[in-house]
Structure 1
Amino acid sequence: ALPLPKTTRALTYDAHGSPTRALTLARDLPLPPLGARGALVRWLAAPVNPADLNVVEGVYPLRPASFPAVGGNEGVGVVVRLAADAGDVVVEVGDVVVPAAPGPGGVGGTWREWAVVDASRLRVAPSDLPLAETAQMSVNPPTAFRMLHDFVPMPRLRDDDDDDANLHAVALNAPTSAVGRAAIQLCAMYGVPSVALLRPRAAETEYDADARELKRLGASVVIRDDGAAHRDRETRELLASLPPIKLALNGVGGASSRSLASLLAPRGVVVTYGGMGRKPVEIPVGKSIFEDIEHRGFWLTRWLRDEEAARRR
């Protein structure tokens, strides 16, 4: 057998700060011994999510246990070695794997080449998917799935014989984000129309290309997220052809969240999962008072903690 690596390259930080200044490339970060239930993983790809940057900045609820810390919250890798006493873990050497959960219950920082992790914190992933897609399986698709199911009743998977009497539509901003793309595709799977609020681009050709891609993924309607387009006659006619919008997924805040909430049917729900616009969430007063719309928040880490606590009770 080939000798185990004793060090790894990794993007690390010794203190919180701007990612462009705080992150450095460590070329010889020591690796711990394999230990009981350990797995040596070679990370193949890891995304850079907004939350990852917030952790480095020190403005996220999750903090590293110690410094130097390795960035990254999810990724895809391959198991190279397992401890002899790994027990009944579900992974094997050669498996393509992803973290079972993000955050402290996961595998630590993923912006590294090698890692020794608890094998029970890994899950086998399909080996025939593109790495870029597999690397995002732990956070973004589960976030989209839970938001679509936990706030407004979701129909069963699409069946031509289903009664559509309870069908609703979903609106979302940040539709080209990983969560947005996942939500649009899930809505299409369930036969739920989706309305994507797409912010203007520097070039109109770029906007048109993104709008076409969202339609390809399954978006029913794409409207310009400029604070006014949802009020024009053409947009109102498009929306009138859809079921009532009962759920809105907000990843931006600011004026975009106001436009999103304006689309909701009475007693609809705005769910905020991100704040990429770095501005407070805005809800129209009239929609709150006269239509009783609701605002909720969603954080996958909290959901996982609650589920774990419920299992232990």
Structure 2
Amino acid sequence: MSSQPSFSTSNSEAMSSEENATAFAEQEEIHIPIEDDHDSAYGGDDAVSDTTSVAESIWKHRYENGRRYHKYREGAYWGPNDDAQNDQLDIGHHMMRLMLDDRLHLAPIEDPQRVLDVGCGTGIWSIDFADEHPSSEVIGTDLSPIQPAFVPPNVKFEVDDCTQPWMYPQNHFDLVHIRCLYGSVSDWPALYRQAYDHIKPGGWIHQLETSIQFKSDDDSFPPNSALLEWSDLFISTTEKFGKTMRVIDSMKRWITDAGFEHVREVRYKVPVGPWSSDPKLKELGKWNLLYCYHGCEGWAMFLLTNVLGWKPEEVQVLLAKFKNALKDRKTHAYYEMSVVYGRKPETASS
């Protein structure tokens, strides 16, 4: 392990079988089994390049409504970068590994040597990948320098905006990994074109995104559900922000349009809370409840105060309603996550 990550500023397992219990691709009829438990709630809140090369301004943060945000290209991303939100990101990483049967990706890639993790957040995916592939070189990029100090020697982190021109060589990466950048990119086709240009022929793109549209297969939402209100509110707010949270609905088509071949999509239903009788989905639901419960303020505060002009007190009222709805065991809510991966043709040239 090296004692310090490298930061710089720049512009820039083969897929498991379809029997995966939670995956579905064009199989909307699959329903999540429900545990026979009539408790009305889940319980209390517990249920729920060298550093010296970085410009000083990069290390600064801005503070707003009690939360800390990135300073570099401030306002480009709505999420906080403080410890509370970073813990929530790591909870999400664990949940997504559980969903993928303890895998980091589904792309059938062998012996990847150069890997780019776009929007790496806390760097936890980059670090896990580097540990599993010690011969690889992994670069993680993010707007915030929030990654840990002690990392594997084959990982480095760069402060970068992925929507700006990439300064890496073309035809360079074996794998470009993207995860949970919904609401962060104004021109997704342009991002995919950049990825295509910088992935070497035969290399792969892999993206995991989540929907914020809560659903239920058994119509168990109560009247005026706060979960449905949440979905509608943030879908419309991010459209106004100019960075859609509905990338899950279009990313397969956009990735295909960028020139990738053998593009595959696998969708998962992710329960909110441990209401399923299926053991794996029950465990997944526990982590998702924690993920949503502790992440919702960070998801909401910037967007509602800056885009819609709400007062922080109004946001807190919405959050209280949302958290109560999350803990309602009678509501068998879930949302979808999608994995899309594709290969750059062997004969391709940028």
Give me the TM-score of the superposition, normalised by structure 2.
Answer: 0.33
Question: Highest relative contact order (Cα 8 Å, sep 6+), 1 or 2?
Answer: 2
Give me the TM-score of the superposition, normalised by structure 1.
Answer: 0.36
- Greater gyration radius: 1
